[in-house]
Amino acid sequence: MKTNRLMQMIGCVCVSLILCSCQEKTEKNYQQQGKTEKYYQMKGEIYGTYYSIIYGAESECVEIDKLDSVFALIDNSLSTFVPTSVISRVNQNDPTVKLDDYFVTVFRKGQYISKMTDGAFDMTVAPLVNCWGFGFKKSDQVTPQMIETIKQYVGYQKVRLEDNKIIKENPNIMLDASAIAKGFSCDVVAHYLASLQIKNYMVEIGGEIVTAGKNSHGETWNIGITQPTETNGIESPDLQTVVCLTGVGLATSGNYRQFYYKDGKRYSHTINPHTGFPAERNLLSATVIAPDCMTADAYATSFMVMGLDSAYAFASQQNDLAAYFIYSDDQDQLQVKYTDSFRQYLKFAENE
């Protein structure tokens, strides 16, 4: 499939699209069912990344202040960069912390997916993430001995929710929701839009997406999946394919922009909770479609840890998941593989 053909698709939103105008608004009219519905777009920065919200309504009804309040509630629950957030206080073993609904929802989903993937997804990976440093800034300092010491504090079985409290086997256990929080945030914003009686919308936060209804052309939402190459432009990326979505969540995890080399091998930004080291895989990206974005987000991360064969086998057995994998073959050429359930979402037919 040719890239220029994909880029010409009207209304296409790329999953890695960077939207840099803070809280910018645009609008577009669309005649639907005998009435004119305007489509509004809101763009801004949040959680160290960017968001874009497109919705259809008879008049503008999403207020920036209220949207910011929604983002703040999530941040104050799940961000480890906020010292007073719920998750930070749990990590600090604060006995007075009260778990909120956001934290409990994410924790329960995280534990469920951890069990389903045999620990490929694990929120207790936080000590390992801290050891390696953001962007692997501390990779030169990491030793196998350090990893072995830290691994005793990693394992989803070592933490549980009991009487609305987090019980740890060891106080050094810490939680990290970064591999699920963006997807959850999309779900929360989508719920907020639905509460305003908005039926047609697309919510994107850092490449994770939730859709409902139709776009401004009266079609299902066209979402582009980025071709995973190191030199791919962020503002004008090449697309691997386009999917048509409504009423589902989509998330992509990849190792083609955040990685490092050691001894001639490339390691991804995704930490393998079992080994304590970044995953060494030929799998470049995993895109997951699920009933909600939180689920898609967590599984996309899990699949990067599991690797192509295991992830494909697992996804193929799940009735509520569809997965699309881009990987490099022995000749370092890009190849794709996707589950049968993913085929229904493809804008164009593909030959695997």
Is there a contact between 119 and 156 (Cβ–Cβ < 8 Å)?
A: yes
CA–CA distance, 288 with 299 (Å, rounded to integer): 7
Q: Does 97 map to a domain?
A: yes
Q: Does 108 map to a domain?
A: yes
Q: Is 277 exposed, middle or buried (0-12, 13-18, 19+ CB in 10 A)?
A: middle
Domain count, the chain: 1
Q: Does 279 map to a domain?
A: no
Token pair recorded at residue 95:
């006995």
- H helices, E strands: number in the chain: 9, 16
CATH number at residue 82: 1.10.3980.10
Give the pLDDT of the chain (352 residues) as one tens digit per residue: 434 433 333 344 444 333 332 344 455 555 555 556 899 999 999 988 899 999 999 899 999 999 999 999 999 999 999 999 999 999 999 999 999 999 999 999 999 999 999 999 999 999 888 887 754 455 667 788 888 999 999 999 999 999 999 999 999 999 999 999 999 999 999 999 999 999 999 999 999 999 999 999 999 999 999 887 655 444 546 889 999 999 999 999 986 544 444 544 444 568 889 988 887 668 989 999 999 999 999 999 999 999 999 999 999 999 999 999 999 888 888 899 999 999 999 988 776 6
Q: Does 146 map to a domain?
A: yes
Q: Does 216 map to a domain?
A: no
Q: Does 40 map to a domain?
A: no
Q: Does 106 map to a domain?
A: yes
Q: Does 55 map to a domain?
A: no
The pTM (predicted TM-score) of the whole model is 0.86
Q: Which residue type does 61 have?
A: C
Displacement of CA 267 from its chain's centroid (Å): 20
Question: Residue 158: which domain range?
Answer: 70-178
Report the b/e string of 20-37 with b at 16+ CB within 10 A: eeeeeeeeeebeeeeeeb
